[in-house]
Structures are given as structure tokens and as C-alpha cells.
Amino acid sequence: MPLKNDRYLRALQCQPVDCTPIWMMRQAGRYLPEYRHLRAQAGDFMTMCKTPELACEATLQPIRRYDLDAAIIFSDILTIPDAMGLGLYFEQGEGPKFKKSINDISDIKQLAIPDPESELGYVMDAIRLTKRELNGKVPLIGFSGSPWTLATYMIEGGSSKTFTKIKKMLYSDPLSLHLLLDKLSDSIALYLNAQIQAGAQSIMIFDSWGGVLSHTSYNEFSLYYMTKIISLLNRGKKQNTFTPDYVPVTLFTKGGGLWFEKIMSSGCDAIGVDWTVDLSSLPKEKVAIQGNLDPTVLYGNRHTIEESANQVLKEYGHYNGHIFNLGHGINQDTPLESVDILINVVHQRSKR
């Protein structure tokens, strides 16, 4: 089915667009009253993720409310560790946790690579259902966490501020950590290929915690494995002109702006950057660039939001290959009208 709005996919391929496309990380989530109502009906977050009809509804909610240029499937980056048997759950105000954590090589050897159409079939069912319900309105993004980011949660047992356990393994037992990262890479590649097969038109890999690594460790323990995943994806062949059936891949390492040139060598089509990066300093039209407004700007008044968005557009300049986004996920107490202001100003002020 031809897309009614393909500017997001065109920008990912560094092709001309009528205006800069925009979507927002965590656009399906707690800042929306309709999402909070749906979550209350579901009872808990994992029920939302594992019920395709609920995941589809959550994905579609921001698309109904706002003039966004892409939808991202409602899910969580920790579905793979959960399918590996670690028992993902969420506690109010504390974020994700696992019933089991990874402590040594014996734990890693026991991990099985999940079959994406059985253990993770609920994600594929949600993608198939959502793609049908979107009916070509906008493209659908599939995603995964990076191997390093998933490993941090698996070893720490949940969220962490210091990453002491995984860094201890990195420096005292790197072979075991490499074994885990390699197993996760194979699992993620299978998972993302299944998402593509189910109908995802773009893939994003969230390396949420890559920025806590040293520059040498980042190459060895994060970027190497994301590069491996990209090499294993069935995304079609990129052409010099816009190719609707090609599935572009975006890598986003939060705090990874200093490694932009290295990330370019991964084979990705686009690189997400946070608000610490000056877009004017980045090479243009070699890969697409996604970003990079500070999400807290949306607490400001109309003038502040419009001028901040305009500054991001000005930094990128009149080049192909820009996808406007926040530098991280939208905050849950963001005013609804601020999102509308942002989307409108991006579309209006970037008209070609």
C-alpha cells in the first residue's frame, strides 16, 4: 500500500522533502490522557506490551491527536531479556526490574536466543495490526535496544546510575561480557528482521547507555555489536533515488555525539543525536541526522518553543536528510499544546 505521507522515509534516505519530518521518542506514552486511561484499563505496563490490540491503540493515539510524520510501535526495549527468561516487571516510580539477573558466565551460557515469532510473537502481531490500522497514513517504526544497553539492565538487575556491576564485568571478565553481547546481537538481529517481515518500514536501535562508556570501550562493547546487527538485517538495497521498499536503520547513542564519525561507519542510514550536539558541526547528506531539541524546552511558552525549534532547523540548514526529534524521550508532564506548537512550527518553518 503506497504511503500518503512518506517524507520521513525520504529524509532517512537523504532525499528531498516538502518540509522537515517530525516524530518524538516516547510519543506514545504517559503525557497523553488517552494513554493514561488505556493503561488504567490494562492494569499494568507489560499487559499493554503483550496485548497486540492495546499496543496498537497506544501506537495510534499520538497519530490521531497530532500531525506527526511517523508512528513507532508501542513496546519496550527489554522484551528480549524478558523472553530469555529473566522476568521483566515494573514497580511504580522505580522503572524496569528483572526477577533474575546475570552474574557470571554460567548465567550467560544458560540464556537461549528467543524465537521472535513465538516468544516475541506479540510484538509482531502488534506490528501487523498497527500497519493495517494505519492504512498508509504514515510509516511505522520498529525498534530494539542495543546489545550494550540490554546487557546493562540484565547485569544490573534493572536501572542504574553508576553501572558498577556491568563495568566490573567489562574490566575483570571481558570475555564473558563479549559472550553476552554476541548472544544479544544474534537475538536482536532475528527480532528486527521479524519486525521488518511483519511490516516495520524503518528500524531504530536505542543505545540508551552507550554514552557511559569510555571512547575505547564504546567501540569494543557497543558500536561493534550494533554494526554486526546492521550487517544481518534484511532491509533491501538502497538506491540513489528514493526507494519506498528500503528499510532504513537509525542508531541513537545518548551522549554519543563525539563519536558521530565512528557511528557513520556502522552502515546505518541515520544517526540520532541529543541536545549537546551542534547540528551545524555535523557532515550533511552522508547519513541522515535525527534530533535534537531538549525535551524540557516544551515546558516553555510558545515563543520559547518556536525559537528553539527554529534554532535546530537553522543549525541543520537547507540540506536533505534531517528528521526533527527530541534529544531524548518526551517527559510525562509535557503540556499537550506544546507538542502541537512544536509540530506546527517545524512543518511551517521548514517548508521548501
Question: What residues act catalytically?
Answer: 26, 30, 39, 76, 153
Question: Is 29 annotated in some ligand binding site?
Answer: yes
Q: Which of 271, 109, 32 is CA-nearest to residue 279?
A: 271
Contact 235, 247 (CB under 8 A): yes
Contact 247, 127 (CB under 8 A): no
Cell numbers at 331, concatenated: 517527559
Question: Is 199 annotated in some ligand binding site?
Answer: no
Question: Is 95 annotated in some ligand binding site?
Answer: no
Distance of CA 260 to the CA centre of its chain: 17
Question: Is 42 annotated in some ligand binding site?
Answer: no
Question: Is 235 annotated in some ligand binding site?
Answer: no
299 backbone dihedrals φ, ψ, rounded to 5°: -85, -10
Question: Is 27 annotated in some ligand binding site?
Answer: yes
**Residue 281 identity (one-letter amino acid):** S
Question: Is 76 annotated in some ligand binding site?
Answer: yes
Question: Is 207 annotated in some ligand binding site?
Answer: no
Contact 238, 231 (CB under 8 A): no
Q: Look at the alpha carbons of 338, 344, 349, 352 in this order and tell me if their dihedral is positive or negative.
A: positive
**Residue 297 identity (one-letter amino acid):** V
Question: Is 225 annotated in some ligand binding site?
Answer: no
Binding residues for substrate: 26-30, 76, 153, 208, 328
Binding residues: 26-30, 76, 153, 208, 328
